[in-house]
Structure 1
Amino acid sequence: MSLFESGDSSGSTGLGSLFDGESLQPAKAGATVEQIAFLLCRGGWPRAAGLRGDIALQQARDYIDAVAESDISRADGVSRNPHLARRILRSYARMESSQTSSAQIAADVSANDESRPSAKTVQSYLTALERIFIIEEMPAWNPNLRSKTAIRTTETRHFVDPSIAAAALGVGPQGLLNDLQTFGLLFESMRVRDLRVYADALDGEVFHYRDKTGLECDAVLHLRDGRYGLIEVKLGGNKLVDEGATNLLKLSQRIDTTRIPAPSFLMVLTGTGAYSYTRPDGVLVAPVTTLKP
């Protein structure tokens, strides 16, 4: 479930309303970074929603055990090594929110595993994980741009829920607070989970964008009628919000609006933040605990 479905978002920022041209209504949020870390590790599991403490975190850990011990082999009837499955899950979690290749994941596994699996073997495990809906990679967005800059088309690695990545890495909320880099990557995955839920409700899809110059956008929410919004994901902090807004404005200026519409909105989606608001440059800033379809 998304944060809105689990009751952890106020829903004061409606994406459908923004697509319809309505202004963002400022609303109070105020989630702490500790709360966001807990929600990430708890995940969107219906049975865990509303629970507190370690019991809320246990479902994702139990799920990892079930996947490694049996579910990954049931995907296509091929018997697979539980130990290797755990190593691949852990390596995939380290590559969360990146465009890492199967060969790079295989190299990461081999560095810590005497079995040294081939890239082909690792890919077979990843295919099985995709079949049982553990991973769902995000495709690249290919807009019409004024520049002729080459667009990277590699898909972005994501688990269907960030709690799976946290469980695979063996970290809880406090562990994330002690490693803000990992926290930031898993938070991006958490937002992708919610945006996919909201996009489905709005008859759309979620993509990512990156070109060879390094210009990128964490999420493009694209509706089937052609409207789209550009979204940067930042855990928190005024400096990071400024960076995200600058990036969005730069990308929006490259879009050839004689071929496709201008974006319906530009948004920096944050983890923490006291309020949702609109910046003087027109970029929206919305904490995750305010979002709904």
Structure 2
Amino acid sequence: MPNPDWIPRHAAARVAAALADTRVVLVGGARQAGKSTLVRVVAADHDAVRRDLDREQERAAAIADPVGFVDFSELLVIDEIQRVPSLLLAIKASVDEDPRPGRYLLTGSSQLFGMLDAPDALPGRMETVELWPLAQGELDGEPDGFVDAIFELGPDLHHESSITRADYAARIVRGGLPEAITRENDRRRERFLDAYVQSLIDRDIRQLSEIQHKGALRQMVRLLAARSATLIVPGSLASELGITRPTISRYLQALEEIFLIKRVPGWSRDLGTRATSTPKLFFVDSGIAANEIAADARSLLRPDSPFGSLLESFVLSELSRQLTWSTRAVNLFHYRDHSKYEVDAVLESRSGQVVGIEVKAASTVRTDDFRGLRRLAERLGDDFVAGVVLYTGTATLPFGEKMRAIPVSALWQAGEAEA
């Protein structure tokens, strides 16, 4: 097992580039995703001072004298900035007076713009770099280049894989939180993940939102894990949990702001058909989702297991990671219209080019698996780059013009040079 303290992160290059031309850089992401390690590595090339607002004494000093706390002529690194959001005003005043790039490097475990007491958060002065838990390519030393490769090569992308269904199941359960992957004993990992989620509810969500139904919120997280990679309708959750729809909506927003879940919006272009705008939900870390429904690697291989939904959630999270470092500006959506045509993931570039992706847990693929992808291809014409069914088999197979079945491992093993 690799030592997570020494795993190079794709985001490091982007953070370094942002410090070269931007006054304030924020590294945001889930707790224990590796933000502190990342900024320590990047800051090692600077004459920097680091302060941690999780430490009570430093937090007290920041509250008592925010202007003095941020008064530093070189790079100042501040961990967990959301703990004292009033510091943002002091930082804003400082960088307005001295607009040199690379003044502040911040980390945060909740999205600053969603915080109840966050002031105007440095518009035009700050670049945000999102850090996810470790990607499969970071863990394996692979290129993590599927998004760029599929837009560059389209259906000419060819990938062969030796990864088995059992290995995919193990990767899903392992997840990417550095602390979790060091626990090779399943029970030790379960206890860590249980405590991790409970800590988020007890501390981080309380900072973002008032909680009247703590027990219901904990139950809601488990229910969301069971419905991972599905469309989430607050009304159905409200009736099942016995709390109001506005409360459900507020809790969903809070869970997203602490980077526990991610919602993928419905995709639509004026294609002459009605498409749903209901978002699809997945967990930022597949290990958390699997743990919430008590799924282990062995049980996921049973015929009646939730392997399919967890694999789709796993793929969505890996794609989302890549979008933070891909050279192309690409957005992630899902597609479902009222004629029941569906596509699990829709990648759309800024120029309007589209790649459709379906996820299948099977090791074989059928023509019917391309039903939704062909619908998109017909309606998009030349803007449709490729339709891909990611599956647990080993070979790339053609299924018609621009349609390919490709092993899931292409997500992290493929790069633009692979053709």
Among 358, 371, 375, the alignment partner of 1:246 is 371
Among 214, 217, 221, the alignment partner of 1:89 is 221
Aligned to 1:186: 310
Tell me the secondary structure at the aligned position of residue 244 of structure 1.
helix
Aligned to 2:198: 65
Task: Quote the Cα distance in structure 2 between the aligned partners of 1:177 and 1:14.
Answer: 26
Task: Quote the Cα distance in structure 2 between the aligned partners of 1:102 and 1:126.
Answer: 9
Aligned to 2:277: 153
1:54-203 aligned at under 5 Å gives the runs: 54=186, 55-56=188-189, 58-76=191-209, 78-109=210-241, 116-145=242-271, 148-178=272-302, 180=304, 182-202=306-326, 203=329
**What letter matches 1:136 in structure 2?**
K
Q: 1:280 to 1:141 in 2, by over 3 A?
A: closer
1:196-215 aligned at under 5 Å gives the runs: 196-202=320-326, 203-215=329-341
Q: 1:25 to 1:210 in 2, by over 3 A?
A: closer
Aligned to 1:263: 384
Bigger radius of gyration among the two: 2
Task: Please say if 1:232 is aligned against 2:365.
Answer: no
Q: 1:286 to 1:46 in 2, by over 3 A?
A: farther
Give aligned-pair identity as a percent: 26
Q: How many residues align?
A: 277
- Displacement after TM superposition at 1:32 (Å): 1.8
Instruction: Provide the alpha-carbon RMSD of the alignment.
Output: 2.5
Task: Please say if 1:43 is aligned against 2:172.
Answer: no
Tell me the secondary structure at the aligned position of residue 157 of structure 1.
strand
8 Å CA contact retained: 1:233, 1:244: no
Aligned to 2:17: none
Q: 1:120 to 1:195 in 2, by over 3 A?
A: same
Among 409, 412, 418, the alignment partner of 1:289 is 409
Task: Quote the Cα distance in structure 2 between the aligned partners of 1:179 and 1:119.
Answer: 35
Structure 2 residue runs without a partner (length 5+): 1-133
Task: Quote the Cα distance in structure 2 between the aligned partners of 1:97 and 1:73.
Answer: 26
**What letter matches 1:95 in structure 2?**
R
Tell me the secondary structure at the aligned position of residue 158 of structure 1.
strand
Structure 1 residue runs without a partner (length 5+): 110-115
Among 269, 273, 278, the alignment partner of 2:393 is 273
8 Å CA contact retained: 1:13, 1:25: no
- Displacement after TM superposition at 1:79 (Å): 4.3
Query: TM-score, normalization: structure 1?
Result: 0.83
Task: Quote the Cα distance in structure 2 between the aligned partners of 1:37 and 1:285.
Answer: 20
8 Å CA contact retained: 1:68, 1:83: no
Task: Quote the Cα distance in structure 1 between the aligned partners of 2:252 and 2:264.
Answer: 14
**What letter matches 1:273 in structure 2?**
G
**What letter matches 2:167 in structure 1?**
Q
Q: Which has the higher contact order (CA 8 A, sep 6+)?
A: 1
Segment of structure 1 superposing worse, 17-26 or 119-128: 17-26
Query: TM-score, normalization: structure 2?
Result: 0.60
